[in-house]
Structure 1
Amino acid sequence: MNRIDRESRIVVIGGGTGLSVLLKGLKKLTTNVTAVVTVSDDGGSSGRLRAELGVLPPGDIRSCLVALADTETLMDEVIQHRFQTGEGLKGHSLGNLLLVAMTEITGDFITAIKEVSKVLKVRGNVLPATLEHVTLKALMSDGKMVSGETLIRNYKYKIERLFLKPEYCRPVPETLNAIRDADAIIVGPGSLYTSIIPNLLVDGVVDAIADSNAVTMYVSNIMTEQGETDDFTAYDHLKVILEHINKQIFNYVIMNSGNIDKYRLERYKEEKAIPVRKALQEINDLGVKVIEEDLVSQADFAWHDSDKLAKVIMKTIGR
């Protein structure tokens, strides 16, 4: 990896497990990465804190901070620790509580993230897409409008279109600046409707991507996701994003060509998930180049391998 590649300014956009997996690999290869994270979560510990205290959901932010931590230490485990007992505490992550406490002390969520970043010696920056308290809404295939990420995930009909409430939510200025100055912008991997698209619906984010001179990539998921992307091809994922943003912003689509063993495929049958099919011609017809590599990890789940994915991304930037 040459010096120019290591100093490339990289912005990754998403949320959930997919974004954390990518960041773990990138931090080994670059010194300049910014994660832009969705804040529409309303489930689990984040959802409870959001409902009870009126704070932004900290869960995805916390996961990205730990993923970018300089070394995996006992402190990382402490931040990720989830209480198993205790009235009011059970189910909460200590890192979530720390971010909420730091926000109350500093009076500012961005400052709170920066202070926790110092504790973890984070390599890079983590920013929310917006500081507004947004609710994810979806028009479903039965014509009903459903509010809230959790209800949308569990609704029995397909998602037709996503919206944010308020519709015109303000972006974080630092987020737009990072996007405009980026050498590379990576969207995904992650849940299409609940981790990726919400970031792109924040006012100004897509325009900033379009105005930048960065090379742009979409990282396709390895497996479909029950209730969100049943039977979706890589082209279907891409098409849904472009329909929501009304612009073609991608130079490349990165997808897995590696084998997923029968053991893992059997496990995913319970979730009615299958490997994402490629649909190469449809993607090429959009003017987007396809990069296929063996990206699957050796873990029990068919996730991306952090190091493999990061190396492909850095190689693509080097082109």
Structure 2
Amino acid sequence: MNRYKDKKIVAVGGGHGLGRMLAALKGFGSNATGIVTTTDNGGSTGRIRHCQGGIAWGDTRNCINQLITESSLESIMFEYRFKGEGELDGHNLGNLMLTALDNLSVRPMEAIQLIRNMLKVEVNIIPMSEHPSDLKALTEDGSWVHGESSVDQMEEDLLQLDLQPKVPATHEAIVAINEADCIILGPGSFLTSIMPPLLLPEIGQAICNNKNAKLIFIENLSPEYGPAGRMSIEQKLEWCEKACGGRVIDVLIGDTLHANLSPKWPFFKADLASENSEWRHDRTKLMKAIIAQLDIDPEQI
């Protein structure tokens, strides 16, 4: 029986951050949904996109990896990364499996459903869009930088983020946001994991329209590099709110107090770090921090 059957939670982001968040929400089962960034153009994912086209699968694979509950031959295969020389070196078999299933399916969502069923993953995984798109950033000198990897490495500060080409949001993502009791942004790379889904107008508008959901922003435990590392927490919250039609973030969760933070944003201080790594969020601590924001009996944890 689902212990949290009365609450639906949506987490938005990508990379390791969203995977960690969804692993923390595993107890919500199918009432938890991850809306995953699909703009990555680096590593194995970037090489596959260059050869095959399609959306970026790396962040989706990472989320599924962190949600696997039973070790099996299928899970070992999904997590396997090739080593050695030649074209396969560095490729993750899970990325190749998702690409192959995508090619065999009518739409990417079907490929994800097949993998979730195979690996017994209960939490819903939804790509932000089922159409390929890339991140681009406008620098202060008026030039555009293209590609998620390039944006992360920018030495200049940026004025604006956008997607190229413009693509529609996945229908299931909008439905999940509309039905959510809680919407979580982060943790993760701000410009390249959290922001891309919010750049889709339908997603930003859906978050704006759902006034009943608690909108939570979760800070990273260590500073970012590149342009995101030069942004203040206030700037990040303002960027999110602008993308979400002015919808004010209800609570900021982090482990460090901000002396000059506007009272507009209530702050919830929590020790979230894993015992093994100061920069990695602990799944149980994350879960308890989220539970504290919802009307859930702690005895159900």
Offset from partner CA, 1:20-74 (integer Å, 9 cap, x none): 1111111035551110001110001111111100121110011111222233555
- Relative to structure 1, is the Cα distance of residues 77 and 3 closer, same or farther in structure 2, using a 3 angstrom cutoff? closer
Instruction: Letter of the 2:170 partner, please give it.
Output: V
Offset from partner CA, 1:142-169 (integer Å, 9 cap, x none): 33211111111122212221011124x2
- 2:148–2:192 Cα contact (<8 Å) kept: yes
Structure-to-structure mapping, 1:15-54, within 5 angstroms: 15-28=14-27, 30-54=29-53
Q: Report what 1:297 is aligned to.
A: 274
- Relative to structure 1, is the Cα distance of residues 181 and 244 closer, same or farther in structure 2, using a 3 angstrom cutoff? closer
Q: Distance in 2 between matches of 1:105 and 1:210?
A: 36
Q: Report what 1:309 is aligned to.
A: 286
- 2:112–2:125 Cα contact (<8 Å) kept: yes
Structure-to-structure mapping, 1:230-245, within 5 angstroms: 230-245=229-244
- Relative to structure 1, is the Cα distance of residues 3 and 75 closer, same or farther in structure 2, using a 3 angstrom cutoff? closer
Instruction: Letter of the 1:171 partner, please give it.
Output: A
Q: Distance in 2 between matches of 1:77 and 1:209?
A: 36
Q: Report what 1:201 is aligned to.
A: 199
Q: Percent identity?
A: 32
Structure-to-structure mapping, 1:110-149, within 5 angstroms: 110-149=109-148
Deviation at 1:6, TM superposition (A): 4.9
Counterpart secondary structure, 1:104:
helix
- Relative to structure 1, is the Cα distance of residues 79 and 3 closer, same or farther in structure 2, using a 3 angstrom cutoff? closer
Deviation at 1:242, TM superposition (A): 2.6
What TM-score does the superposition give when structure 2 sets the normalisation length? Answer: 0.91
Offset from partner CA, 1:268-300 (integer Å, 9 cap, x none): xxxxxxxxxx4354342xx32211111111223
1:152 paired with 2:129, answer no
Q: Distance in 1 between matches of 2:234 and 2:73?
A: 41
Deviation at 1:305, TM superposition (A): 1.0
Instruction: Letter of the 1:255 partner, please give it.
Output: G
Counterpart secondary structure, 1:228:
helix
Q: Report what 2:299 is aligned to.
A: none
**Two-structure CA RMSD over aligned residues (Å):** 2.0
Offset from partner CA, 1:170-207 (integer Å, 9 cap, x none): 11111100100111111111111000111001121011
Instruction: Letter of the 1:313 partner, please give it.
Output: I
Deviates most, 25-34 or 201-210: 25-34
Q: Distance in 1 between matches of 2:93 and 2:3?
A: 38
Q: Report what 1:170 is aligned to.
A: 168
Q: Distance in 1 between matches of 2:127 and 2:190?
A: 17
What TM-score does the superposition give when structure 1 sets the normalisation length? Answer: 0.86
Deviation at 1:255, TM superposition (A): 0.8
Counterpart secondary structure, 1:316:
coil
- Relative to structure 1, is the Cα distance of residues 6 and 234 closer, same or farther in structure 2, using a 3 angstrom cutoff? farther
Counterpart secondary structure, 1:303:
strand
Q: Distance in 2 between matches of 1:160 and 1:221?
A: 22
Deviation at 1:224, TM superposition (A): 1.6
Deviates most, 297-306 or 130-139: 297-306
Counterpart secondary structure, 2:289:
helix
- Relative to structure 1, is the Cα distance of residues 312 and 56 closer, same or farther in structure 2, using a 3 angstrom cutoff? same
Q: Which of the residues 268, 282, 286 maps onto 2:261?
A: 282
Instruction: Letter of the 1:306 partner, please give it.
Output: R
Deviation at 1:4, TM superposition (A): 6.9
Instruction: Letter of the 2:290 partner, please give it.
Output: I
Q: How many residues align?
A: 295
**Structure 1: where are the runs of 5+ without partners?**
258-277
- 2:3–2:27 Cα contact (<8 Å) kept: no
